[in-house]
Amino acid sequence: MTKYILKRILLMIPTLIGVAVLIFFLMRVVPGDIVELRFAGESGSASRETIAIERARLGLDKPLWRQFLEYMGGLARADLGVSMWTGAPIIEEIKLRFALSLELAILSTLIAVVLAIPLGVIAALKQDTWVDYVVRLFSIAGLATPSFWLGILFILMLLVVFKWLPPMVYTPLWVNPWQNILQLIWPALAVGYRYSAVAMRMTRSAMLEVLREDYIRTARAKGLWQKLILTRHALKNAMLPVLTVVALEFAFLMGGLVVTEQVFNLNGLGLLFVEAVAHRDYTLTQALVLLVATVFIVVNFFVDLAYAWIDPRIRFR
Amino acid sequence: MATLETFVDVTEPTTTRSWRTAVIDFCKQRPLGAIGAAVVVLNLVVAVTANVISPYDPLATDYGAMLTAPSRAHWLGTDAFGRDVLTRILYGSRTAMLVGFSCAMVGATLGAVIGVTSAYFGGKVDLVVQRVMDCFLSFPLIILALAVVAMLGNGLQNVIAAITIPMIPRAALVARSSALAIREMPYVDAARAAGFKHGRIILRHMLPNVMAPYLIMLTAFLGQAILLESSLSFLGLGVSEPTPAWGLMLRGAAVQFAESAPWMAVFPGLAISLAVFAFNLFGDSLRDALDPRLRTQ
């Protein structure tokens, strides 16, 4: 098991380096740079000298390979540097937004799991009855509804029915929990519905497969309690693929909620990413992509560990 | 070899006939899927005939009729420029279908080819291809799409590229895992022993056998592409005004005037949901039909 874990950790490194290299060059291929964009906003064109000085200050005048080596060197020292646009340390820029995105992701996951697992199990047990059809329609509708549109509908409903709008400024959980929940519950519901649909479908099909296994028949033949068969034998085995989709969705939520954040006016990682790309803020974009990729890879790693832990066959492959 | 080809020709009529019965069976056994397929067809018909069936010109502004509520003249009301919402939704299905089908076809096909090739060669090639795919996969889909749009600029072709590129590694992953099993099949060995080129074995012998996961992926991608296009357009990074597109219709004024003119925010979203819903409904039933493990016993 230790060997398996070590191997998995070592395999994470080349992927992360690949992501770092990819985003470094991807950003340089995107036309326009931060200096041009900054001066483009001002009336009259800035003199060439000013532009050259600004470029030199940001280190953009150096040859590409120098920039690349310095960037990789910084990463090796775990130094993300400062944002090119604001000049603030990147850690500071990201901190509060990371907290918001993480909280929203956790809240949505909770909503999704609480909805998905019972409904998915019921649909599988009652396959091809009206219960199954209703649950499936509910989940397919969840997949089809854009979360941002659902968000708009929520806001509309709150406005029209309750004449109330969720608070617009983010209050961290540790400052005022009630205010915080009031703000985040709506986006979490809008996102959680789609998310639960993904997990529900996986629960249903995994349960359908597991319920056909021989060991379930054996358990039934032994006269075991139906409830015990479901929880101990079936659900435990069906949870593996569900765990995978939940984890992948969670990783996705950490940076992919751009549109929902826009609708609810939340300053999360997604919007920060859009701003960073729009400003051609190389350092911030690179740091964000690496952060999101790290979350994705680490979550995947834990899923694989959980797999290996639950299913010994995987460990020895 | 010649005999092989003639053999295929001889069996062809039976396969077409079984296709027709397969379609009829599908409709009988999976009514939900058939409804989904019908809505998809309806959507396609609307997309093709939008210029004939629309009551107004999608670009015509009418400042005398701004933000009017649904009425007999404007069934779904008008937007902030006095444009007819129904007309713009009908025309919007053109954008949605175009983006949906082109992204899904190109994305799923390229992904399948890469995945099958990776599985066929195995070893080092497989390892390298998988690592590269991992790099792309660890970028969230919408962020990769954003980067591509930032690089190429707005516009329909660029949006299609931006949505297609992130789909390729996802399709490759699925195709690879099914192709890994096929690689060990005797007929692949036979083809190799017969001295066929790698390309021919991959395209003619292996690809057709990952058809089931390919079709499932294709239908799933159709819905996802439409959703992604509407998200990008909503952010102002996709199709640009005045092209009628559903996501674009939800942007700006639709949110601003949501309280006084909710039809602007409600109907385009319904159009997106209905289209994606139909694709998913069809795709789901297709998956159940193609995957024997999920059939009722």
Nearest CA in chain B to A148: B231
CA dihedral B102, B105, B110, B113 (to 10 degrees): -170
Give contacts of B262 with chain A, Cβ < 8 Å: 156, 160
Q: What is the DSSP letter of B56?
A: S
- Joined together, the tokens standing for residue B92 give 């919007």
Distance CA B138, CA A293 (A): 5
Q: Which of B131, B147, B280 sits opposite A144 (nearest CB)?
A: B280
Inter-chain residue contact A140 with B284, CB threshold 8 Å: yes
Question: What pLDDT was estimated at residue B97?
Answer: 92
**Mean pLDDT along residues A48-54:** 75
Is A5's pLDDT higher than 90?
A: no
A37 touches B: beta carbon within 8 Å: no
Cross-strand partners of A82:
A89
Is A287's pLDDT higher than 70?
A: yes
Q: Where are the alpha helices (DSSP H) in A126-235?
A: 130-144, 147-157, 177-211, 214-221, 226-228
Question: Quick one: how many helices (H) and strands (E) in chain A?
Answer: 15, 0
**Mean pLDDT along residues A245-250:** 84
Inter-chain residue contact B269 with A146, CB threshold 8 Å: yes
Question: What pLDDT was estimated at residue B236?
Answer: 80
> How confident is residue A90, by pLDDT bands cut at 50, 70 and 90?
confident
Give contacts of B140 with chain A, Cβ < 8 Å: 251-252, 254-256, 292, 296
Q: What is the pTM of this model?
A: 0.81
Residue A88, number of CB atoms within 10 A of its CB: 11
Inter-chain residue contact A15 with B131, CB threshold 8 Å: yes
Distance CA B130, CA B116 (A): 12
CA dihedral A55, A58, A63, A66 (to 10 degrees): 170
Contact present, B30 and B288 (Cβ < 8 Å): yes
3-state secondary structure at position A89: strand
Is B170's pLDDT higher than 80?
A: yes
Inter-chain residue contact A14 with B131, CB threshold 8 Å: yes
Give contacts of B235 with chain A, Cβ < 8 Å: 258-259, 262, 274
B29 touches A: beta carbon within 8 Å: no
Distance CA A124, CA A222 (A): 22
Contact present, A162 and B243 (Cβ < 8 Å): no
> How confident is residue B152, by pLDDT bands cut at 50, 70 and 90?
confident
Q: What is the DSSP letter of B62?
A: -
Q: Which of B32, B138, B234 sits opposite A293 (nearest CB)?
A: B138
Question: What pLDDT was estimated at residue B275?
Answer: 93
Give contacts of B294 with chain A, Cβ < 8 Å: 205, 208-209
Distance CA B113, CA B172 (A): 7
Inter-chain residue contact A133 with B32, CB threshold 8 Å: yes
ipTM score assigned to the predicted complex: 0.79
Inter-chain residue contact A29 with B151, CB threshold 8 Å: yes
Is B233's pLDDT higher than 80?
A: yes
**Mean pLDDT along residues B34-53:** 88
Question: What pLDDT was estimated at residue B6?
Answer: 42
Is A27's pLDDT higher than 70?
A: yes
Inter-chain residue contact B269 with A152, CB threshold 8 Å: yes
Is B84's pLDDT higher than 50?
A: yes
> How confident is residue B3, by pLDDT bands cut at 50, 70 and 90?
very low
Q: Which of A18, A30, A137 sits opposite B135 (nearest CB)?
A: A18
> How confident is residue B140, by pLDDT bands cut at 50, 70 and 90?
low
Average pLDDT, chain A: 82
Q: Where are the alpha helices (DSSP H) in chain B?
A: 2-29, 31-53, 85-121, 123-137, 141-152, 156-183, 186-193, 198-200, 211-235, 246-249, 253-256, 263-290
Give the closest-approach CA distance of B258 to chain A in angstroms. Answer: 7
| Residue of B142, B291, B293 to mutate, interface with A, max A Cβ within 10 Å | B142
pLDDT-wise least confident of A40-49, B141-150, B203-212, B227-236: A40-49
Is B5's pLDDT higher than 60?
A: no
Distance CA A27, CA A161 (A): 46
Of these ranges, A274-278, B71-75, B110-114, B251-255, the one predicted with the greatest mean pLDDT is B110-114
Inter-chain residue contact A259 with B150, CB threshold 8 Å: no
pLDDT single digits (tens) A142-170? 989 988 899 888 888 888 888 777 777 77
The residue among B65 and B176 whose pLDDT is bigger is B176
pLDDT-wise least confident of B4-18, B32-46, B229-243: B4-18
Q: Which of B143, B234, B276 sits opposite A255 (nearest CB)?
A: B143
Give the closest-approach CA distance of B240 to chain A in angstroms. Answer: 17
Question: What pLDDT was estimated at residue A303?
Answer: 82
Inter-chain residue contact A128 with B223, CB threshold 8 Å: no
**Mean pLDDT along residues A230-245:** 81
Question: What pLDDT was estimated at residue A119?
Answer: 93
**Mean pLDDT along residues A124-151:** 88
Nearest CA in chain B to A285: B147
B258 touches A: beta carbon within 8 Å: yes
